[in-house]
Amino acid sequence: MANRSKISFDWDKKSIEKEEPGFDHSGKSEARNIPYTQAIYETLEQILAIDSRVFIMGQGVDDPSGMFGATLNLHKKYGSQRIFDTPLSEDALTGVAVGAALVGMRPIYMHNRPDFLLLAMDQIVNHASKWRYMFGGRSNVPIVIWAVIGRGWGSGAQHSQALQGLFMHVPGLKLVMPSTPYDAKGLLVSSVLDDDPVVFIEHRWAFKHTGYVPDKLYAIPFGKGVIRKEGGDVTIVGASYMVIEALRAAEELRTRGIEAEVIDLRTLNPLDEDIILTSLKKTGRLIIVDTGWKTAGVTAEIAAMVSEKGLNFLKKPVKRIAAPDIPTPSGYVLERKFYPGVREVVNAAVELAE
């Protein structure tokens, strides 16, 4: 069995912020910039090389496209016993992965659509998330459940749902949602090393981005958000692709004389409450953004936390920007209306600034 100490854990929050203050590193000639998908692929390849307990399973992980390129040809290098396709039986196969984790393996179960994780909720919610608690910490389930949300070509109501609100609700699950290639690598390392189940949600459109990524392995701790852009007029909080939308909105707001502070939460469970409250204390105005549904979702939970712990900081009521409470449409025009983005963030910030 490989030695985990080969992985570098020389992380500290200051170095991360110094190395990766934003998304665009194209102006830094010395930076090593790679696409988001390559960051995931590189991480998996490096972890597989040093830890024989890690294996990858999922529909299409060994096909010619390699799960959006994230697992491309890994089965040729590490064999079909460590990289293998799975049938359409999410409940049963999640049970297989949980069983493997219980006996010391480190499975990564990849889903190109999170919608079908609903079929495996019994294994995830009733078993994997509770194991450590029920057995007094003497047994644990170190599994990573990797899934991709986001629209593509009109994916519709059953292939593009953003279900992070459901998973954030479950005790015992950690919930990770990176927005940059740098964070995708560091947070995936942390997820594989964690001794408890981790739901790792990517956004399809984040795959379009390129950014600075060190070639070494490194870990980003859970529950540590980062300020992507500083500002004193309004705080915008989110994770994953909505951080990119928020940064674009912040650029437009600057032309209107409004300086927005954009916070990337990185993980929703654990949640970095301190970074939200500290920023809110400075700005007094808060916009929470998410790709999931609004009612009882991520934005609702964060708004409730702020009402409990930061009510006195608020100068205006909290604004929440999330998907409307209807199934996702597949038509192009309806999709454009359904998904919130820059326009909604800008409008909300302008209203708060008035």
Global pTM reads 0.91
Check pLDDT > 60 for residue 24. no
- Of the residues 159, 169, 203, 209, only one is catalytic, namely 159
Mean pLDDT, all residues of the chain: 90
Q: How confident is the model at residue 307 (pLDDT cuts 50, 70, 90)?
A: very high
Mean pLDDT computed over 17-24 = 47
Q: Which residue has the tokens 């009109």?
A: 154
Buried/exposed 100-120: b ≥16 CB within 10 Å, e otherwise: bbbeebbbbbbbbebbbbeeb
- In this structure, of 10-14, 26-30, 273-277, 291-295, the range with the lowest mean pLDDT score is 10-14
Percent of the chain past pLDDT 70, that is, above it, reads 91
The pLDDT, as a whole number, for residue 331 is: 84
314 with 280: CB under 8 angstroms? yes
Buried/exposed 158-169: b ≥16 CB within 10 Å, e otherwise: ebbbbbbbbbbe
Check pLDDT > 60 for residue 4. no
Q: Is 209 a catalytic residue?
A: no
Model confidence over 62-77: pLDDT tens digits?
999 888 899 999 999 9
Mean pLDDT computed over 129-155 = 91
Q: How confident is the model at residue 156 (pLDDT cuts 50, 70, 90)?
A: confident
The pLDDT, as a whole number, for residue 222 is: 96
Q: How confident is the model at residue 158 (pLDDT cuts 50, 70, 90)?
A: confident
Cα 6 off chain centre by = 25
Q: Which residue has the higher pLDDT, 179 or 16?
A: 179
Mean pLDDT computed over 204-216 = 90
In eight-state DSSP terms, residue 88 is S
Check pLDDT > 50 for residue 79. yes
The pLDDT, as a whole number, for residue 114 is: 86
- Phi, psi for 93 (deg, rounded to 5): -70, -30
162 with 117: CB under 8 angstroms? no
- In this structure, of 22-26, 38-42, 84-88, the range with the lowest mean pLDDT score is 22-26
Model confidence over 316-332: pLDDT tens digits?
999 999 999 999 998 88
The pLDDT, as a whole number, for residue 160 is: 87
Q: How confident is the model at residue 8 (pLDDT cuts 50, 70, 90)?
A: very low
* Euclidean distance between the first and the last CA atom of the chain, given in angstroms as a whole number: 61
The pLDDT, as a whole number, for residue 231 is: 96
The pLDDT, as a whole number, for residue 29 is: 54
Q: How confident is the model at residue 333 (pLDDT cuts 50, 70, 90)?
A: confident
Report the residue count for the chain: 354
Model confidence over 85-103: pLDDT tens digits?
999 999 999 999 999 999 9
